[in-house]
Amino acid sequence: MERELFVVIFGDPFAVMNTIGLIAFAFVGSSKAIREEFDLLGITIVGLAMAFAGGATRDLLVTRIPLALQSPIEVGLGLLGVALAIALSVILTAPETHPLTLVADAIGLAAFTTTGAIVASEAGVSALGIVAIGTINAVGGGAFADILLDRSPFILFEDFYASCAVLGGSVYWIVATFEIAGGMAAVACAVVTVVTRFVAITYDVTLPTLQALRRVGN
């Protein structure tokens, strides 16, 4: 069991990114549920949904059993993220908007974009498939969590969020295509995704709506 835990956390780029993503997104999802005053079960469900829904969709797309159903350690990492969110809520009145949560969300986005791209690449899909699966892995959990919270998925609005995953997945494919030193594609994907997300948060970068474009045109 100890050896399995070591391999899951430190074994390879996928394991490292998957561990980071699970904890970060479970933390963010739980923080959202806490803001909506869900009970402890609801907080746990939303947190785990955000952590696992994107990865489960990814695995189904490449026809394999979702990792969450194969290893108890995966669920344990998600529960750790839930516990961290609950602990932080005792200290802060608005954990969802705290900078720590925003940072965790950006890191989770980068980590899951990378794991999605790795799985897609190993499955032998096309360049479009790598970008698409990386993006789905990154934003699918957040979209599902928003549905549980009875609100439209925020990735469909102005926020520059899913676009960061698209950019990261594209960089992964480019670096992997040129067969640069092993692991560099994963590193490049994670860095590009998290940096563009931090830039979007810092400078309030958004994608324009059709209404905004019409106002500019008029």
Listing DSSP states for 177-194 in one string gives: HTT-STTHHHHHHHHHHH
SS3 content of the chain, % helix, strand, coil (to 5): 80, 0, 20
* pLDDT above 70 (res 6): no
Residue 162 has a pLDDT of 94
Q: By three-state DSSP, how is residue 8 classified?
A: helix
Which of 10-14, 96-100, 103-107 is predicted with the least confidence, judged by mean pLDDT?
A: 10-14
17 or 183, higher pLDDT: 17
- For 10-42, what is each residue's pLDDT tens digit? 457 888 889 999 999 999 999 999 999 999 999
Spatial distance between the Cα atoms of 133 and 9, rounded to a whole number of angstroms = 22
Residue 100 in contact with residue 180, Cβ under 8 Å? no
Contacts (Cβ under 8 Å, ≥6 apart) of 70: none
Where does the pLDDT of residue 214 fall: very low under 50, low under 70, confident under 90, or very high at 90 and above?
confident
Residue 78 in contact with residue 51, Cβ under 8 Å? yes
* pLDDT above 90 (res 115): yes
Residue 156 has a pLDDT of 83
Contacts (Cβ under 8 Å, ≥6 apart) of 206: 158, 159, 160, 200
- For 128-174, what is each residue's pLDDT tens digit? 999 999 999 999 999 999 999 999 888 887 678 999 999 999 999 99
Burial of 80 (0-12, 13-18, 19+ CB in 10 A): middle
